[in-house]
């Protein structure tokens, strides 16, 4: 499962901190060295790791320790907060067009699972009360059209194809008309992939974007490719301006660094993760849940949240007392 190795290493770091009654700067520096190594081994982008560790270290040394937390728990809280922030803070939901008809343009390199993900997304949308249609715009691989038809059948979703056409814009515009005619309210456009980002591919996608004006462009990347996935995301975003990332094969990747780096490097959120081969194996991405899973400390984090609430309440009471005192003065 994703982050297995990272979870194990981080938990070992925190075990060493938990038993200590007080933490010195040397303790925190030693722990942060281990955290840095664990993140680099998980294939998290080097610059992202450096910024993350610096921020945690600064906050660990500078923060007032809450009365009901040990110094070790305080560091865990900071790491959890920073991990959540790194992955986007709060979950970023898929948005729909206010006009009532939404077009999603799916892009990505070959072999990332883009066509299957189109089917998973259609399945997800159906469960959420939408009526999707799939559209085959890969004009280079006849097998890609066949594959999308198989996927459409599996998730009981209509598929629009124009096998004789060599113009993706023409196909997609005809698909929009057909989808509206059939009473569908979402069109998912499956585009051509390449083995690597090249000028020809990007120009074609830019033209297609201009023609169909998609509500969101979703980039599908393979979590197993680590930093290559993040580099691909950066490349697509620079040329095309993506709205979100769908990370596939998260169930098979024990490193998971791409999920931790993608938002920081591209500024675009991970919206979904693919967690298996079945068509219902697509989950909305929740940074806070993922952080909790990485740290493998659900119970501990609940305790920390409770302490945070008590601490906030105490601070609020102190502030109220001060305000009253000032009013009376």
> Has residue 64 got a pLDDT over 80?
no
DSSP 285-317: --HHHHHHHHHT-HHHHHHHHHHHHHHHHHHHH
Cα separation, 39 vs 47, in Å, equals 11
Q: Residue 66: is its pLDDT beyond 70?
A: no
- Which carries the bigger pLDDT value, residue 314 or residue 107? 107
195/216 Cα distance (integer angstroms): 23
Which tokens hold the place of 177?
């008309």
| Cα 178 to Cα 172: distance, rounded to the nearest angstrom | 10
- pLDDT, one tens digit per residue, over 216-259 is 999 999 888 778 888 888 899 999 999 999 999 887 755 677 88
* Residue linked to tokens 């998973």: 120
Mean pLDDT of 139-148: 89
110 pLDDT above the threshold of 60: yes
Q: Is 184's pLDDT higher than 60?
A: yes
Q: Which residue has the tokens 């009471």?
A: 317
User: Does 151 have pLDDT greater than 80?
Assistant: yes
Mean of all residue pLDDT scores within the chain:
85
Identify whether the C-beta of residue 215 lies closer than 8 Å to the C-beta of residue 253.
no
CA distance 221 to 229: 6
- For the segment 171-190, the average pLDDT, to the nearest whole number, is 96
Share of residues in the chain with pLDDT > 90 (%) = 37
Q: What is the pTM of this model?
A: 0.84
pLDDT band, very low/low/confident/very high, at 117 (cuts 50, 70, 90): very high
pLDDT of residue 302: 57
Q: Is the pLDDT of residue 266 over 60?
A: yes
Percent of the chain with pLDDT strictly greater than 70: 89
Domains and CATH numbers, the chain: 4-90 (1.20.120.140), 102-285 (3.40.50.300)
65: DSSP letter:
P
Secondary structure of residue 16 in the 3-state scheme: helix
Q: What is the pLDDT of residue 7?
A: 84
Least confident of 45-54, 205-214, 222-231, 282-291: 222-231
CA proximity to 269, closest of 246, 290, 292, 252: 246
Greater model confidence, 308 or 287: 287
In which band, very low, low, confident or very high, does the pLDDT at 2 lie, cut at 50, 70 and 90?
low
In this prediction, residues 182-207 reach a mean pLDDT of 90
pLDDT at 53 over 80: yes
Higher pLDDT, 294 or 102: 102
E strands of the chain, at which residues?
Answer: 102-107, 132-137, 159-160, 186-191, 216-222, 244-248, 270-274, 282-284
- CA nearest to 170, candidates 179, 158, 161: 161
The CA-based angle 308-314-315, given to 5 degrees, is 90
């Amino acid at each position: 499962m994703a982050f297995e190795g990272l979870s194990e290493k981080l938990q070992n770091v925190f075990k060493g901190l938990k038993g200590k009654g007080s933490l010195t700067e040397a303790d925190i520096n030693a722990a942060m060295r281990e955290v840095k190594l664990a993140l680099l081994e998980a294939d998290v982008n080097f610059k992202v790791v450096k910024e993350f560790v610096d921020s945690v270290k600064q906050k660990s040394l500078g923060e007032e320790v809450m009365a009901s937390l040990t110094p070790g728990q305080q560091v865990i809280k900071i790491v959890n907060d920073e991990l959540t922030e790194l992955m986007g803070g709060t979950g970023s939901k898929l948005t729909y067009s206010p006009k009532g008809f939404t077009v999603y343009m799916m892009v990505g390199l070959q072999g990332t699972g883009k066509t299957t993900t189109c089917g998973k997304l259609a399945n997800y949308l159906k469960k959420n009360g939408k009526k999707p249609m799939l559209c085959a715009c890969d004009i280079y691989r006849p097998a890609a059209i066949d594959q999308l038809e198989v996927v459409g059948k599996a998730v009981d979703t209509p598929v629009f194809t124009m096998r004789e056409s060599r113009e993706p814009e023409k196909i997609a515009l005809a698909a929009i008309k057909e989808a509206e005619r059939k009473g569908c309210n979402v069109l998912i456009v499956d585009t051509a992939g390449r083995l690597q980002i090249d000028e020809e591919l990007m120009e074609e996608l830019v033209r297609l974007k201009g023609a169909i004006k998609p509500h969101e462009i979703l980039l599908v990347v393979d979590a197993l490719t680590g930093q290559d996935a993040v580099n691909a995301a950066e490349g697509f975003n620079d040329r095309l301006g993506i709205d979100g990332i769908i990370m596939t094969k998260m169930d098979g990747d024990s490193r998971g660094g791409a999920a931790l780096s993608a938002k920081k490097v591209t500024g675009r959120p991970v919206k979904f993760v693919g967690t298996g081969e079945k068509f219902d194996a697509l989950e909305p991405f929740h940074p806070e849940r993922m952080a909790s899973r990485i740290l493998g400390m659900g119970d501990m984090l609940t305790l920390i949240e409770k302490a945070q609430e008590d601490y906030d309440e105490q601070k609020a009471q102190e502030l109220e007392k001060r305000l009253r005192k000032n009013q009376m003065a």
